[in-house]
Every structure is written in structure tokens, then in C-alpha cells.
Chain A
Amino acid sequence: MKFIEKLFLHDLRLTGKIVLSTFLGLALIIFLAQGVIALIFEYPLDYGEGQLLNQAFRITQGEPLYPADITTPPYLISNYPPVYILINAFFIWIFGPSLLIGRLIAFLSTLGSAFLIASILWEFMPNRKILPLVTGSVTFLINPYVLEWSALFRIDMLALLFSLAGLYCVIKNPQKNKSIILASILFVLAAYTRQSYGLAAPLAALIWTWTKNKKQALKLFLIYAIIGLAIFGLLQMLTNRGFFFHIITANINPFNWTTVLHFAQDVARKMPWILALLVFYLALGWRYTQSYPYLAPYLIAGMIAALTIGKVGSNVNYLVEISAGFGLLTGIIYGELCETIPINSENTPEIDIKLEQIPKPESMKPLERKNLWINLTIFLVLTGVLLFQIASLTQDSLFGPIPGRRDRIKRGNDYIYLEEKIKNASKEGPVLADEFMAMLPDNRIQLYFAPFEMTQLSNTGIWDQTRFLKSIEDQNFPVILIHHFQNYPVYLERWTNKMQQAIFDNYVPVEMKADSIIFEPKDFENKTYPDQLNCPNSLWQLPTSADMGLLWHNGQLLMMGSGRSGEIPVYAVADGLLYQFPEWEAAVSIQHEDPLNPGEIIWSFYGDMAPAFDIDNHYIKTKFIGAEGVPVKAGDLIGYQGSWLGAYEQTWVHLRFTLLPAGEDGGFPEPLVAIDDFHADLPAYKEQIRLGLDTSISLSAYTGLPESDIFGTLDFLPFECAVGGE
């Protein structure tokens, strides 16, 4: 063997290690950075954080965690077993309520889980190589599902830590009674942190132990089952059967296979190489690896547990456990294939880079030489595959959950406003909130209502919402916060239709901060509100409903109705002739006789009637496509509200509406034809005057809709009638 061959054999492997190690390091830095950012952010990052913080706070106040009676306020559900909540309650009792505590526990648990993955892998590394351990751990950490959940005030990461710790105990010493007992306790802790973690790891540990010592396996099963059932019985007794109701009955939400398919496709898109390795491992691993008796059951049971993601309201946390399985799988396969064919080190030529001269060729058996090259090829191919997978997972994290969180955190002042609003309003009565409910317990204010959970119970007929609806109708709540995500109307799943209607009938949206809409009780004595799309004493009716409020944008109104894209009807405000100009995609305009200036013409404009990113399936009624003066009557259906805001943008479901002056001969004003595009650079106020357009058309004067003096930025307006055209 010549020096150059030795050099390539040695340094090509080194190159693979350098490249992979660098990407692993980068992934680890990104994971840690996002974790620190989430930890130091003092406002809610997720709906579920508020529930758990409130539960921990309630314990410190001596309130029951699993009340059997939910017919009286507070209307709350504790979906999870108590371990994580009790740990948080202990720290809250010492330091006071804070989101940091629960997030820190979750983040440290994630890092601990990664360490345990490495520790488990270590037990299966015959040549004690570090790189496969790090690869397995980092594959777990940089997984977007894990990364997104790693620093949230949620139970999942602690449950995973307990379950992996139990698994490690059994794998390391299945013969020792101490390990079996400790593992059983850890599995019970995992199951009593989150129910679903009572399956995959205990099953994997049981099968693994069974292959080593059947008696020990039986012990493991019995200890786990007895302790688990004993605690269950005790909790049932202490809570007057409330425990079962809260963690089982109240958790059986409607199941949607479409959601399962959606997430399965997402996993396949993000982790194609890991799934390929999974198939390869499940098919052949039993023959070539020692890890099969625990890892195969863990992966299969983890996938079965992940199927529960189909429940309404589920999130990516259902994929955290299987992500740990993927980390173990990656590490095991990489460890096994680093040196696929065993090489006798005594016959392997060493490259000594400290030599002064190029050494003379050494003799070597052709078979050994061939094996060295085969090993190197397999190593480089597998390293390339893992490199690609880890880099794409890093990309998915970097351009998925991280910017999502960045955009949320950047609303800094909005959170201060919301927090002050909640604190002040709470002095007058209970405040209802969904996404930002954590602000309540964070300020030592207990929750009154858990929207999503109670909505699900109401939908399944387990909880009667009548009494709660009466409270809304009586305006017992000084403030109601409903979060309005731009990309999906989640509030429709969090509040029943009747709750929404009761809120819209008795509350008015007055402000929007950090995408949450603030509803305050309607002041029926001093203000007027639209009734059946009409403002009292207005010349024209309103074009559509705006129960979620109005956004003023340079003289136009984004009227946000309640419902999904394509569901909320849009009507003609008055009689006239409808046009859809050739340049327009999602808009129409109607030419009217001006009722305030007889003989004059005025135009009403209706825009953005299309789904996001899909202009071809717009919501304009077919008969109006390309219309050139089609007669319409007031109240005629034109189309439906959409979430279109240009080819590359999505926003809340809305109608973009305004009134425009006529151009020459009563035609549509030429300088404003570009108005179909929300981002079009339309002539400014003075420029419109210079062009001879009468710009003093008031939305309030014709329809009663409110207006703003602010230009250049969005301004939220309440859905109420302007008095006397003000």
C-alpha cells in the first residue's frame, strides 16, 4: 500500500467527520440560541402554557386540580396528570408565578433527553466512537418538532426525560433488581407527567428485558403496573373520580384522519432519509444489531402513540417521542456502519503524519485492502446522507418554528399593553382569554374559563354551556381576548358558535394587539352598532359583517368577518352597475348614483375576495366575472370574504372595501385602477386633488362605517356605527 492510498483512506474519513461535526455543531448552536431566546421572553408563546401555569398556581392557592364538578365556574379542565404541574407548583410557591420556571424545566429536560439518547447509544457502540452519539443526540435536538417544543411551558419534554431515563436503566442493567425498580418508578413518573408516555418506553424496556431475563421482565411489568394503578386509584379517590374525567374523558376529542395524513406528509417531507433508515432497520436490524429488541418496539409504539395527533387541537408535541426514537435510530445505524466490515487493526497500516519523508510502500492482503475501501465508501455515503438530513432539519427549524417565534416576540409593546389591560380589567371582573391566557396566572389572576377544552366538551355534549352563555350576555366579563391568527382561524375551534355569537352580539372589538382582538362590552346606551348589516339612518347598507373588527388602511377598510375564507357573504351596498375590469383578479366595483350629490356618480369597491395564494379559485360570483355594467340591487350577493392579500401574502379573512370618486364621465377613476393590488402605490391625497378627483368621500356618511385619520399604517377600528357621519 502506497502512502497516497493511506492518505486518502485516512483523510477522506477525516473529511467526512469534519463536515458532519461542523453541521452538528451548527445545529446545536441554533438549538441553544432559540432556547435561550424563548427562556428570556416573559410573555406566552403557546396557548397551553397558560393552562399549565394556572394549574400550578391553583395548587399553590390550595385549589383542586381535578374538580369533579365543572358546572360552576371556574370552567377549567386539567388535561394532564400532575407530576410536571406539581414540580412547577413547588417552584411557584417559592418564587411566585413565572413562565420561566416551566420553560426552564422543559428545556433542561430536552437537553437531558439528548444526553440520555447518547448514553443509550453508548451501550451499543462496540468501538466507543463519539460521533454517532453526537449525531443521534443532535438529530433529536434539531428536529423541528422537538426544537419548537423544547422551551415551552409544556409537559412533554419532562415526560420524555423520565421515559428515556427508565429505558436507559433497563438497557444498562436488566439483570439488577435496583435497575428494574428504578426504571419502573421512572416509567410511572413519565406516565403521570403525560399519559401517552406510559406506552412506548415501558413496552420497549419490557421486551428488551424479556430477551435478557424473563423473570426480570415480569418484575418490571408488575412493579410498573402495581405502582401505576395504585396511584391512579388514590388519585381517583382523592379527586372524587375527577382525575379520570379530566385526563381521559375530557381528552377524547374528535379524531381527524386528515390531520394524521397532513402530519405524516410533513414528517415524510422533513425526514425522508430517516424514514428510509427506519424501513431498512425494521427489515434488517434484527439480524445485524443488538439494539433491535428495544429500539424496534420503541419506534413502532412511538409511531402508534403519534397517531393520536389526529385529535382536534393536537400539535407537534405528539411527534416528540417518535423524534427521540429517530435520534436513537440514527445513532445506532451510524455507529454500526462506521466500520461495517470488521478490520483487524494489527493488519491495518497506520498513517503517521509526523514522518519526515514519504514512507515506502507496505505490503497488505488484497482482501483487507478491499474491505478498507468498502468501509470508507459506506462511511462516506452514510455520512453524506446524514449530513443532508441534519442540514435539512436545521433548515426546517431555522425557517419554520424559529421565525414564527421571532415574529411573535417582536410584538414587544403589544404585550405590555395587553398585560396592563388584563390587570386593570381583572379588577372589575373575570377576564376571558385564549392564546394569551398565561398573562392571567402570570399576574396572580386565576383563569375563569379554558376556551378550547370547554368548547370540545360542549361540542361532545359533556358540558352544558348555557350558564356561561348567560354570563356573556350579561356582560359579566370586562374584557374578552380572542386571538386571531393570520393563517388559520383557530378561534373557531376554541369558542363554540354560540359563544362567538353571544360575544359578537354583546361585545365590540375595540383593539387588536399582537394579533389578539380585545372585545369590550357594547355600550348600548351611548353608541349604535350595526344591525343586520345596517347602521341606523345610513343611506346604504354595509357590504359584509366585521365581527372581528375593522382595519383601516389609507382610506380603505379591511372588514374582518367571523368564519373561514369563502364563507362570509359580501353584498352590494346599493343599487348600481357592477364592473370587473380586465386587470382585476379578486375585486369588483359598483357604479352608483350619488345620493348625497344628485347627478354625480360614486363607486363602491370590494376587494380581496379569494383564498390565500390561490387567485384562480376566487370567491366572486360567476355571473360577475368580467362584468361590464351588470345591474345589481342593494343586498345582492357579490361573493365572499377571502384571505387574499396579493400573490405572496396571506392575512385574516376579510373584505377590502372603500368608496371612490368617479373619473371623467362617471367612469372608474383611471389613477385608482391599480387598487385591486393591496400593495399598489396609489396617488396620495394631494395628488388625487391635482388629478381632479374629489377625495372627500366619507365611508361614514354613506354607510355609517367608522373612519380614521391615520394614513401610512394599519389602524384598528371597532365594528360600530359612526354617529352622524363623524
Chain B
Amino acid sequence: MIEVNRRKATILTILVAALWIISAVCAFLLIIPILDSITLIYAAFWADPNPIGQAYYLGVSIRQMGVLIFSMLFVIGIIGGAEIQARNFNKPSSWHFMFITYAVELTLFLFTMFF
């Protein structure tokens, strides 16, 4: 019985770790497409064909600020996510949190697909 539980725990640990790594990789890969989408939306409102115009520089600034903010959020999400999973291993709340993580990533992925 103990052997069965240990095996089950090992499988669950591997599963949680795998899901966490996949979510981290997806989040990382989403940063640039999200910035592209934000830039596209910005351009729809304020684009200027002039490469030395105010609108162009503001667009570049938004993108640079976006890189900073998303990088910080990424690091916070990775570390925080890992800690939550470790502290609440195999609790209902941890599985719910994992689901929410993927729901948010799906939302962001669709955002990058549509815009």
C-alpha cells in the first residue's frame, strides 16, 4: 500500500513539475507576441508613418516598458507559481491554481492570435 502511494506521489510530482515547466515556457514565448499585439492596437489608434514622429517614439516606448513589465510579471509568476505548487502540493487549491494559470495563458494566446 505504501509502495502504491509513493508511486502515485512520484507520478503526481512529475505531473505538477511538467505542467509548471510547460506553463513557464508558454508564458515566456507569449511575451513578444503580446507586445506585438499591444503595438498593433496602439498603431490602430495613433500610428504615424513618419519614423521620427512622436507617435513612433511613443510606440517604441510602450514596447520597451512592456518588455520590462512583462519580464517582471514573468519572473513573479514563475517563482510564485512554483512556491504555491510546492506548498499546496496535490491540494484542491493547487490544482485550481494550475487551471487558472492555463486559462490565463490561453486567453493571452488567443489575444495574440486575434490581434
Residues of A that sit less than 8 Å from B by CB: 3, 7, 11, 14-15, 18-19, 22-23, 26, 30, 33-34, 37, 351-359, 387, 391-392, 394-395, 398-399, 402-403, 406, 410
Extra contacts besides A11-B100, A15-B106, A351-B96 (7): CB < 8 Å: A7-B92, A11-B99, A15-B99, A22-B107, A352-B92, A354-B92, A354-B93
Given A7-B95, A18-B103, A353-B93, A398 and B110 contact (CB-CB distance below 8 Å): no
Inter-chain CA distance A30–B111, complex, in Å, is 14
A-B complex: 5 closest residue pairs judged by Cβ atoms? A11-B99, A15-B103, A391-B114, A353-B96, A18-B103
Contact of B99 with A33 in the complex, beta carbons under 8 Å: no
Across-interface contacts of B111 in A (CB, < 8 A): 22-23, 26
Q: Is B20 part of the contact surface with A, judged by Cβ < 8 Å?
A: no
CA distance A395 to B95 in the complex (A): 34
- Contact between A394 and B92 (Cβ–Cβ < 8 Å)? no
Q: With A19-B110, A26-B111 in contact, do A402 and B100 touch (Cβ < 8 Å)? A: no
Q: Do most interface residues of chain B lie in helix, strand or loop, or is the interface mixed?
A: helix
A15 to B107, CA, bound (A): 9
9 contacts between A and B (CB under 8 A): A11-B103, A14-B103, A18-B100, A26-B111, A352-B92, A353-B96, A387-B110, A391-B110, A402-B45
Closest Cβ of chain A to B95, distance in Å, is 6
Q: Contact partner of A358 among B92, B99, B104, CB < 8 A?
A: B92
Tell me if B102 counts as interface (CB < 8 A to partner A). Answer: yes
**How many residues of B are in contact with the other chain, CB < 8 A?**
23
Question: How long is the Cα–Cα vector from A351 to B99 in the complex, in angstroms?
Answer: 13
Q: Among A30, A395, A406, which residue has its beta carbon within 8 angstroms of that of B114? A: A395
Distance to closest chain B CB from A648 (angstroms): 13
Flag if A410 contacts B45 (CB, 8 Å).
Answer: no
State whether the Cβ of B44 lies closer than 8 Å to any Cβ in chain A.
yes
B13-45 vs A, Cβ < 8 Å mask (1 yes, 0 no): 000000000000000000000000000010011
Query: Taking the complex as formed, is B47 at the interface, i.e. its CB lies under 8 A from any CB of chain A?
Result: yes
Which residues in B have their C-beta under 8 angstroms from that of A394?
114-115
Q: Closest approach, in angstroms, between the C-beta of A395 and any C-beta of chain B?
A: 6
How many A-B pairs have beta carbons closer than 8 Å: the answer is 74
Q: What's the least CB distance linking B18 to chain A, in Å?
A: 16
Q: Is the CB of A402 within 8 A of B44?
A: yes
A-binding residues in B (CB < 8 A): 41, 44-48, 90-93, 95-96, 99-100, 102-104, 106-107, 110-111, 114-115
User: Please, how many angstroms separate the alpha-carbon atoms of A14 and B102 in the complex?
Assistant: 11
Chain A residues in 8 Å Cβ range of B90: 358
Bound CA span A18–B92, Å: 19
A14 adjacent to B110 (CB under 8 Å): no
Residue of A nearest to B46 (CB): A406
Are B92 and A355 neighbours in the complex by a CB distance under 8 Å?
A: yes
Given A14-B100, A391-B114, A398-B115: A403 in contact with B44 (beta carbons within 8 A): yes
Q: Which residues of A contact B106 (CB under 8 A)?
A: 15, 19
Closest residue of chain B to A354 (Cβ to Cβ) is B93
CB distance from A6 to the nearest CB of B (A): 9
Interchain nearest-CB distance for B96 vs A (Å):
4
Say whether, besides A15-B106, A22-B111, A352-B92, A7 and B45 are in contact (CB < 8 Å).
Answer: no
CB distance from B77 to the nearest CB of A (A): 16
Chain A nearest CB from B106 CB (Å) reads: 6
Interface centre among A14, A19, A394, A402 (most CB of B within 10 A): A19
CA of A7 to CA of B91, assembled, Å? 12
Given known A-B contacts A11-B99, A11-B100, A33 and B45 have beta carbons under 8 A apart: yes
Could you say which residues of chain B place their CB within 8 Å of the CB of A11? 96, 99-100, 103
Tell me the smallest distance from the CB of A336 to a CB of chain B, in Å. Answer: 24
When chains A and B are docked, how far (Å) is the Cα of A648 from the Cα of B28?
36
Closest to A399 in B: B44
Provide the bound-state CA to CA distance between A394 and B114, in Å: 9
In the complex, the chain B residue whose C-beta lies closest to that of A391 is B114
Given A353-B92, A355-B91; A406-B45 close (CB under 8 Å) = yes
List B contacts of A403 (CB < 8 A).
Answer: 44, 47
Q: Which residues of A contact B95 (CB under 8 A)?
A: 3, 7
Asked if A15 and B45 sit within 8 Å, CB to CB, the answer is no
Contact residue among A351, A357, A391, A406 (Cβ-Cβ distance under 8 Å from B47): A406
| CB-based contact B96/A7 at 8 Å | yes
Residues of A within 8 A of B46 (CB): 406
How distant is A359 from chain B, measured CB to nearest CB, in Å?
Answer: 8
